[in-house]
Amino acid sequence: MKDTCHLYTDLAWLWPMWGDAATEYAHYCQHVSGLIRKHAQRSVATLLNIGCGGGKNVFNLKRDFEVTGLDLSPAMLAQAKELNPGGAFVQGDMRTFRLGQHFDAVLMDDAISHMNCRADFVAAFRTAYEHLHPGGVLIATPDVTIETFQQNQTTTTPASRDGLDLVFVENVYDPDPADEQYETTILYLIRDRARLRIETEHWTMGIFSLDTWRHVLRETGFDVHEEQYISGQDSYTMFACVKAR
Ligand SMILES: C[S@@+](CC[C@H](N)C(=O)[O-])C[C@H]1O[C@@H](n2cnc3c(N)ncnc32)[C@H](O)[C@@H]1O
C-alpha cells in the first residue's frame, strides 16, 4: 500500500482535536524539563523542538525555555503558530537542516518514528548534535521500540468540537519483524454536523531496538543516560544525551 500524508497536509486542522495540549502533554513536558535540568552541563535557556508538529510540546515547554520549533510540514507549523502566537518556528527536514544556530537543549520525540530507515535515523541525531552547544542536552523519546511494539494494536480516540464529531482509529502492524519498519494505518471518521466523511492514512514508520538507539546515540558523540517515564499503563524510555564540553 502506498504511503499518504493527509495529517500533515490537508487534514492538519484535525491535529488540535487529537489530544489536548494543556492537559495530555503537560506532565510529559515537566518530565522533559526536569531531565534537561538534571543532565545539562551548562545553564539552559534555549530549546529546539525538532519535529514540533502542531506545537503541543512547545505550548508547555515555553514556560521553562525560549523555544524554537522545527518541522517539515508548513500545515503543521501553521497549527503550531496558532497555538503559540509569537513563537519561533522554522520549516526544515530533520535529516538535513542546519540553522547556523546553537541551543542549550533539543527535544525529539514522536516525529522520529517517521525516520523509517537506519540512514535517516542516524542523520536526524547528527542534526540534533550539530545544533547543541557543548554541555547541552538532547532529550530523545522513542514512541515505540522493538521491545515495546504490540502487533496489531488498535486504538480508538473520539473527539468533539464546534459541531464536529471525530473518531481516529489507529492500527499498528509489523509485516516483517526482521526489518526496521512497521506500518501505521489510520481511519478518520469526520462528522461535520452529522454528515460523514471518511479518510484513510498509511505510513511506513521506523522501529529500532533500545540497543540500536543506544549505539546510534553514542556513535553520534553523546554521553547517554536513560530514564523511564510512566504514563498511565505505558512506560517509555527517555534518553538524556549530553554533548561533551
Ligand atoms: C505527530 S507529529 C508531532 C507532534 C508534536 N509532538 C506536537 O507537540 O504537536 C509528527 C511530526 O513529524 C514531522 N516530520 C515528519 N518527518 C519529518 C522530517 N523529515 N523533518 C521534520 N519533521 C518531520 C511531521 O511533519 C509532523 O508534524
Instruction: Give per-residue pLDDT as tens, 15-64.
Output: 999 988 888 899 999 999 999 999 999 999 999 999 999 999 999 999 99
Q: Which of 23, 28, 73, 143 to mutate to test the pocket of ligand 1 (most atoms within 8 A of CB)?
A: 73
What is the atom index within ligand 1 of the atom nearest the CA of 57? 8
Q: Are 117 and 212 in contact (CB under 8 A)?
A: no
> What local confidence, expressed as pLDDT, does residue 34 receive?
98
What is the atom index within ligand 1 of the atom nearest the CA of 79? 9
d(CA 80, CA 67): 12
Q: Is the pLDDT of residue 160 over 90?
A: yes
Pick from 243, 241, 213: nearest CA to 225: 241
Residue 56 Cα to ligand 1 midpoint, Å, equals: 11
Rg (CA), the chain: 18
Pick from 121, 108, 93, 115: nearest CA to 215: 121
pLDDT digits (tens, 9 = 90+) for 206-223: 999 999 999 999 999 999
Q: Which residue has the cell 530533520?
A: 94
Q: Are 97 and 70 in contact (CB under 8 A)?
A: yes
Look over the chain and give the mean of its residue pLDDT values, rounded to a whole number: 97
Residue 148 Cα to ligand 1 midpoint, Å, equals: 21
State if residue 136 touches ligand 1 by the CB under 6 angstroms criterion.
Answer: no
pLDDT range class, residue 226, cuts 50, 70, 90: very high
Residue 53 Cα to ligand 1 midpoint, Å, equals: 4
Q: Which helix (H) or strand (E) holds 81?
A: helix 74-83
> What local confidence, expressed as pLDDT, does residue 21 receive?
87
pLDDT digits (tens, 9 = 90+) for 72-130: 999 999 999 999 999 999 999 999 999 999 999 999 999 999 999 999 999 999 999 99
**H helix runs in 103-191, sequence order:** 118-130
Q: What is the mean pLDDT of residues 156-163?
A: 94
**Claim: this prediction has a pTM higher than 0.85:** yes
Could you give the C-alpha distances from 51 to 112, 143, 174, 193, 199, in angstroms and in order? 8, 13, 23, 33, 24
Q: Are 189 and 166 in contact (CB under 8 A)?
A: yes
> What local confidence, expressed as pLDDT, does residue 41 receive?
98
Q: What is the mean pLDDT of residues 129-144?
A: 98
> What local confidence, expressed as pLDDT, does residue 22 receive?
85
pLDDT range class, residue 233, cuts 50, 70, 90: confident
> What local confidence, expressed as pLDDT, does residue 82 receive?
97
Partners of 168 in beta bridges? 157, 188
Could you give the C-alpha distances from 227 to 39, 139, 145, 207, in angstroms and in order? 11, 10, 15, 19
Q: Which helix (H) or strand (E) holds 217?
A: helix 210-220
